[in-house]
Amino acid sequence: MRPIRLGLVGYGKIAQDQHVPAIRANPQFELVAVATLGQPCPGVEHFSSLTELLARGPQVDAIAFCTPPQGRFALVKQALKAGKHVLVEKPPCSTLGEAFSLIDTVDEAGVCGLFAWHSRFAPGVAFAKAWLKGKALEHVRVEWKEQVRKWHPGQAWIWQAGGLGVFDPGINALSIVTELLPDAVFVESASLSVPGNCQSPITASLNMRTAGQTEVRAEFDFDHGENELWRIELYSDQGMLRLDSGGAVVSIDGAAQTLPDEGEYPAMYRHFAQLIAEGRSDLDLQPLRIVADSFFVGSKEAVADFFE
């Protein structure tokens, strides 16, 4: 069976570190073209824009988008109108309105789409979801704290309107929580700290509750020093399960558990190939909706300017 011919739009750090290795390791895909204004991807035809790729490049069946969320909407629309399946890095767009429009366009185009919440594919997430079955979940605690200078050096778009700030990593935690919990999650209150020279928060505290009244609290920090932390604790009537390292490590009441060794991005691309084979889409928007609600109801505090 012929591999899915894939084009990649955007070739920054996340594409170089995660997408391209996962694509090349999966025989279901063939990376045939990259569109970027930056450095070209070795061994692949290079184009300066999606328009050029579609007009002059090799035939592609699907396109993965790794550009910043601002301005991505028009690019994904262009690919969908050209009849291409799409994988869209998180968050899919800068606004819920744009994202809902993309969902409609995917349906109209008769193609497959994936809003790529990559953290949902961490090996511990499926394990935790299975563990929760038959248990009464009492409350959830989230700590997601990392150093932006390490993971996103020089990426000013993160601090601009639509760049999400601390929610750029925080939305990963929210994508896991919403995958694990059976009920919708709603924001009751939020506290956002915004540097004076930025438009997006650098820290956030969220108080949430599910439709079934399970309490969920989250602490996000994008300027955390040593001992970075990506942790979710699920307290049930039958013990506590903890996801560490973004879902790569699991323990139950302190006892380490054995997990599959497949990484997030390889599992995500395997899922994308399965969606295409089955003619389905996976376009969940709950993580982005929670972020939008946090901005809507959250109190904002001005803090010291942020500098690289």
Whichever domain contains 93, its CATH number is: 3.40.50.720
Quick check: is 308 in a domain? no
Question: Is 160 within a domain?
Answer: yes
117 token code pair: 């919440």
What's the CATH number where 145 sits? 3.30.360.10
Closest listed residue to residue 8, CA positions, set 102, 109, 116:
116
Regarding whether 223 and 273 lie in a shared domain, the answer is no
Please give the share of the chain, as a percent, with pLDDT higher than 90. Answer: 89
Same domain as 176, residue 203: yes
pLDDT band at residue 108, thresholds of 50, 70 and 90?
very high
What does the DSSP assignment read for 60-87?
-SEEEE-S-STTHHHHHHHHHHTT-EEE
Q: What is the mean pLDDT of the chain?
A: 95
Q: Which of 242, 227, 170, 245 is nearest to 201 (CA)?
A: 170
> For 46-95, how does the pLDDT look when each residue is reduced to its tens digit (9 = 90+)?
999 999 999 999 999 999 999 988 889 999 999 999 999 999 999 999 89
Q: Which residue has the higher pLDDT, 193 or 1?
A: 193
Q: Phi and psi dihedrals of 25, rounded to 5?
A: -85, -5
Determine the pLDDT at residue 48.
Answer: 95
Q: Which of 13, 81, 84, 90 is catalytic?
A: 90
Q: Are residues 124 and 239 in the same domain?
A: yes
Q: Tell me, yes or no, whether 286 lies in a domain.
A: no
The predicted-structure confidence for 205-236, as pLDDT tens digits, reads as follows 999 999 989 999 999 999 998 889 999 999 99
What is the value of pTM for the model shown? 0.94
Is pLDDT at 1 greater than 80 in this prediction? Answer: no
Query: Is pLDDT of 36 > 90?
Result: yes
pLDDT surpasses 80 at 149: yes
- The reply to whether 90 belongs to the active site is yes
Residue 263 pLDDT grade (very low, low, confident, very high; cuts 50, 70, 90): very high
In a domain, 77, yes or no: yes
In a domain, 227, yes or no: yes
